[in-house]
Amino acid sequence: MNRNQNSPLGRAFLAGLACTALIAESAQAFAYQERIFIRGGRIIPISGPEIEEGAVLIEGGKITAVGKGIETPYDAQVIDATGKVVFPGMIEAHWVRGMDRVNESYPITPFLSVMDSLDGASFDFEDALREGVTTMHVIHGNGQPIAGRGVVARPLGRIVENMAVIPDAALKISFIPRQFASHVSQYAEMRRVMDELRDQLDRLKDKREDDAEREKAKKEEEAKKKDAAKPADEPKAPPKEAKEEDEIEKRKRVLFDLIRGRVPAFVAVNATEVPYAIEFARKNGFLEKTTFVLGADAWKMVDALAATGRPVVLDPELTHRERDPITGKEIETEVAPIFAKKGVKFALQSSRGSFAQRYLNTQAAAAVRSGVDRDAALKAITLWPAEMVGLGDRLGALEKGRDGNVVILSGDPLSTTTFVEKVVLDGAVAYEREKDPRLQRLLQGIGPKGGEKAGATKPAAATDGDKKEGEEKK
């Protein structure tokens, strides 16, 4: 083959090599940098006491050292966090954004996966990174009795497979009646699905027993006719056993895995649905794998929820308001302290419903203001949601062996004036506030076409002295 660089084939060959090198370089850069050394900041590790003027060393995408007196590697990328706060990447345990649709139109779709509807180009992921969220459990909303499986993702990368940390995460189940449905019809539909699955399992069990009996009788008959000339110690091939799940209809295999305790479930409930949801999960064998996603009034059933020993995701509206049916007076209830006092692990979630609910750290600040211990509030946006999504040993804290997901904040995480300065994701710098083009446009008051916004501050170049100098030149 002629590979002269001036020939068409040569140019194509070189272009191919360049493209391959670029893809490999991009993949490596996304995965991790060799070493990142964050020094001088106030470290809040979550898993231990705070460290003043400490350091975090990340190598190969993993945290290898946290503390004081750590020697700076000669070849590390050094990030000076003096005067800043070094904090674990925040985690959303229940995130219903970043998809092409929140719910499907069919009520029962356990065979679907959010992976198929994830939109890597969504601004929601860009916003999440800007807000210090490094991991989110993207999952269907509450509009279906049994929806699909979620995906635990990182907010970086346009290719869905690169974004996924756990491609097949929890199955979403909702006991909250969907539109035009009642509690009776919702429960009946869910019972029907599970009853059909159990009927199918019973039929398969009977079939296997019958097949086993026939096979046994056949072998006994063959043994009688067979000449016993072979050595007695000749090894016999073990019979091939069919796996039970291989015989289940594909659309129901996720439900089969659910009742066998192999698939976690995120179960949405209001106060009314809590008793039935607990009993349903217990009866069908997945209570020990359940995380309850609570509606605004579900705090009224805190004792029943606490008795299960299972974690919960609180509604973004942390203050529940309702009117007394007799006096008509509005009653306000702070939800987070109720669960904290009962020892229930809970995760906070953000919402685009209001500016105050937009950020996880301000949600944690609101919880502390209402009476939750500071340590518990910080765990509710880091370590506890990490445990809920199955990554409690990898995320949610700054300690040796965990993933290198670190957020550098301008101040204390519970301060409403604090903002994210840098984000290190999987051991690579993924976000820098000073290099954020969208944010800079907003802060500078520049419109979409580069012009000034109405009422924007006049640029410094357009001073009276400049005008006078221009007139003299004329």
| CATH at 359 | 3.20.20.140
**Which backbone phi and psi does 121 adopt, to 5 degrees?**
-90, 0
Same domain, 167 and 268: yes
pLDDT at 220: 60
Looking at 349, 373, 392, which one is the last position of a domain?
392
The tokens of 457 are what? 């501050």
| 34 band by pLDDT with thresholds 50, 70 and 90 | confident
Q: Residue 125: beta bridge partners?
A: none
- Tell me whether residue 360 is in a domain: yes
Q: What percent of the chain has pLDDT over 90?
A: 65
Which residue, among 265, 240, 256, 280, has the nearest Cα to 200 in the 3D structure? 256
pLDDT at 153: 96
Q: Could you tell me which residue, 359 or 16, shows the higher pLDDT?
A: 359
The tokens of 157 are what? 């990368």
- Tell me whether residue 133 is in a domain: yes
CATH of the domain at 412: 2.30.40.10
| 226 band by pLDDT with thresholds 50, 70 and 90 | low
Greatest pairwise CA separation for the chain in angstroms:
120
- Tell me whether residue 139 is in a domain: yes
Same domain, 131 and 277: yes
Q: Residue 310: beta bridge partners?
A: none
Q: Could you tell me which residue, 420 or 204, shows the higher pLDDT?
A: 420
Same domain, 160 and 291: yes
Check pLDDT > 80 for residue 61: yes
Give the least confident one: 1-5, 138-142, 353-357: 1-5
Check pLDDT > 80 for residue 372: yes
Looking at 392, 411, 435, which one is the last position of a domain?
392
Same domain, 430 and 445: yes
Cα angle 118, 190, 253; round to 5:
55
pLDDT at 13: 46
Give the least confident one: 28-32, 138-142, 318-322, 375-379: 28-32
Which domain covers residue 147, as residue numbers? 90-172+247-392
Give the least confident one: 70-84, 131-145, 188-202, 301-315: 188-202
Q: Residue 51: beta bridge partners?
A: 43
Same domain, 166 and 301: yes
Same domain, 350 and 440: no
Q: What is the mean pLDDT of residues 55-79?
A: 95
Give the least confident one: 387-391, 407-411, 442-446: 442-446
Same domain, 405 and 334: no
> What are the tens digits of pLDDT across the range 69-88?
999 999 999 999 999 999 99
The tokens of 303 are what? 């004792």
Same domain, 260 and 147: yes
Same domain, 337 and 415: no
- Tell me whether residue 371 is in a domain: yes
pLDDT at 181: 85
Check pLDDT > 70 for residue 474: no
Per-chain mean pLDDT for the chain: 84
Q: Could you tell me which residue, 253 or 309, shows the higher pLDDT?
A: 309
The tokens of 147 are what? 């929806």
> What are the tens digits of pLDDT across the range 256-296?
999 999 999 999 999 999 999 999 999 999 999 999 999 99
Same domain, 82 and 101: no
Query: What whole-number distance in Å separates Cα of residue 32 and Cα of residue 404?
Result: 9
Domain tally for the chain? 2
- Tell me whether residue 353 is in a domain: yes
Same domain, 296 and 382: yes
C-beta of residue 94 within 8 angstroms of C-beta of residue 349: yes
Q: Could you tell me which residue, 244 or 22, shows the higher pLDDT?
A: 244
Placement of tokens 């501050």 in the chain? 457
| CA-CA-CA-CA torsion sign (133, 136, 138, 139) | negative
- Tell me whether residue 240 is in a domain: no
- Tell me whether residue 39 is in a domain: yes
Same domain, 45 and 161: no
Q: Which own/partner pairs from 272-277 qualify as long-range (CB within 8 Å, at least 24 positions apart)?
A: 272/183, 273/175, 273/176, 273/183, 274/298, 274/301, 274/304, 274/305, 275/301, 275/304, 276/175, 276/187, 277/175
Looking at 344, 368, 392, which one is the last position of a domain?
392
- Tell me whether residue 185 is in a domain: no
pLDDT at 128: 95
